[in-house]
A and B are shown apart, each in its own frame.
Chain A
Amino acid sequence: MRERLLTTCEREFIHNVMKEGGEDGELVRLDGRGKSEMRRVLVTLGRQQYGQATASIGNTQAICRVSCSIVRPHEDRPTKGFVRYGVTLSPMASPDYDAGGRPSAASIYLTRLLEHIFREARALDDESLCIVAGEKVWAVSVNVTVTNDDGNMEDACALAALAGLMHFRRPYVSIAGQDVVVHPFDEHEPVSLAINHRPLNVTTALFDNGDLALVDPTKIELKVADGSISVAMNTHGEICGINSSEGLAVDPEQMEAIVAATKHRVTHLFTALNKAFPKE
């Protein structure tokens, strides 16, 4: 389906609304937020199944399902398990997305974003997924589906994925001689994944060559924006990934400011995440 076109008057209105505001967050966006405000963030965990989590940021919603299976490891990496990430954009999310067919550029971008944040920053411990070196390892599959796209799918997907991973439990495995016994959940308490650190993503959209930066853009704001930057950060204040989108053109000072501000902004997301895990 064709994308809904943004009319010129809408574009101008959004632009002017952002310009007319004052210097420090007095400016009012279409939904009443200031420049640095995020929308309401909500994380809910599945009750029937471990590893299921739903994250919503405003109207943007992503659902994560984590599952696992036992496979042979790579020959050169006999003690490391696998974690595979995949993001699909459901046609529910927006008329822009078609079902099936080749993965679109947007879904590839989001999948790679998760791989950047989690795999390349080593959030999960591969070696803890080893069962029998050289023969059997766990392969964990993290599947995120975006069910509603109102902008900032990046942060919603990362939040859903992390919540899913934290919530997930794999079966307990015992080794009796040559045999590997996988214990069902009612026989033995399942085991949670070894997570080294917890990264979450904050996306900022840029306008007017970087002069104006809005955190957590909605879909319509993204249409007017020049480009956006996603910065991932964990609870230790470490940056776990930076990805820029098309049309970016920003001064180095502005870029540094956005990265520095992530520390403050990501706490909003962690607060929502922690609410879903009361015991931790």
Chain B
Amino acid sequence: MPEYISVEGLREDGRRANELRRVEANVGMFPHADGSAYFQQGDTKVVAIVNGPKQGVGKAGDAGKVVCDFEMAAFSTTQRRKPLRLDRKNAELGSKIASTFESAIMTDLYPRSQIEISVQVLQADGGVLAVAINAVTLALMDAGVAMTDFVCACTASVIDGTNVLDINHYEASAQGPELTIAVLPSSSTIVMAEMKSRVHGDLYAGLQDLAIVGGTTLLPLLKKAVHDRTRAMLPCLGPAA
């Protein structure tokens, strides 16, 4: 019987129940794209690229559209995946990511335009949707797309009766519920909620709270990545005079 949480309260990777995985962020590594970012939580590694806002279809009165193309590299999972031409799971995740950002991007500023997001998962070790959303937030800011706030996402689950934060693939195989929540941290407004598997209705509130705390904890880390990138880019504005 696999043990997910030891008697001392440590998880398989040594974390406590309410600890996030180690985070690494790298903004703007693809200068030819309008915006790009790499985000890593534990061993889940995602690259996001943004192109736009650019000419889209639609009439002058329409607000901008957000589209997202989601792909998992063939080498991203433990077993090599053959990329299918129409992968429903990828289409669904792309669609969910685009929906999430419709609430945060000020699309009214971009009539007749389209913002194209491209997500590529390099390594999948649980919480892929959440990490992707965080990577896209950074990439959109690198592209100078107007947003009302950061979008921070995190997963939560129940394992052996304990609520745990930011689960990895091993913990996901415990077949407990996997809740992914994306929030606008300043107001804790939920802009995306997805839950897989089963959990008793009474336990939902606690899970949601934990996921939201995870998201708001990520905010300073994301902010620092954007702030540092902006500072490094300041010479492009020229001399202060």
Contact = CB atoms under 8 A, between A and B. Distances in A.
Interface in A229-263: 229, 233-234, 236-252, 255-256, 259-260, 262-263
A206 B72 CA distance: 32
Contacts of A197: 198
Contacts of B91: 105, 108
Interface string B189-211: 11111111111111011001100
A72 interface: no
B103 A249 contact: yes
A259 B209 contact: no
A64 B19 CA distance: 44
A121 interface: yes
Interface stretch (A15-23, A109-117, A145-153, A175-183): A109-117
Interface stretch (B39-47, B92-100, B110-118): B92-100
Contacts of A111: 88
Contacts of A256: 204-205, 208
How many A residues touch the partner, as a band? 35 or more
A247 B188 contact: no
A250 to B, nearest CB: 5
A237 B200 contact: yes
A199 to B, nearest CB: 8
A106 to B, nearest CB: 10
A101 to B, nearest CB: 12
Contacts of B175: 122
How many B residues touch the partner, as a band? 35 or more
A244 B95 contact: no
B237 interface: no
Nearest to B91: A108
B80 interface: no
**Which of A103, A112, A237 has the largest count of B CB atoms less than 10 A from its CB?**
A112
Interface in B179-193: 179, 184, 188-193
B88 A108 contact: yes
B204 A259 contact: yes
A121 B175 CA distance: 9
A244 B194 contact: yes
B102 interface: yes
27 contacts: A112-B88, A120-B197, A122-B198, A229-B193, A237-B200, A237-B202, A241-B195, A241-B196, A242-B179, A242-B193, A243-B194, A244-B96, A244-B99, A244-B192, A245-B99, A246-B102, A248-B103, A249-B189, A249-B191, A250-B189, A251-B190, A252-B208, A252-B212, A255-B193, A256-B205, A259-B201, A263-B201
Ordered nearest first, which 4 A-B pairs have the shortest CB separation? A246-B99, A242-B195, A112-B92, A120-B196
Interface of A: 102-103, 105, 108-109, 111-112, 116, 120-122, 197, 209-210, 227, 229, 233-234, 236-252, 255-256, 259-260, 262-263
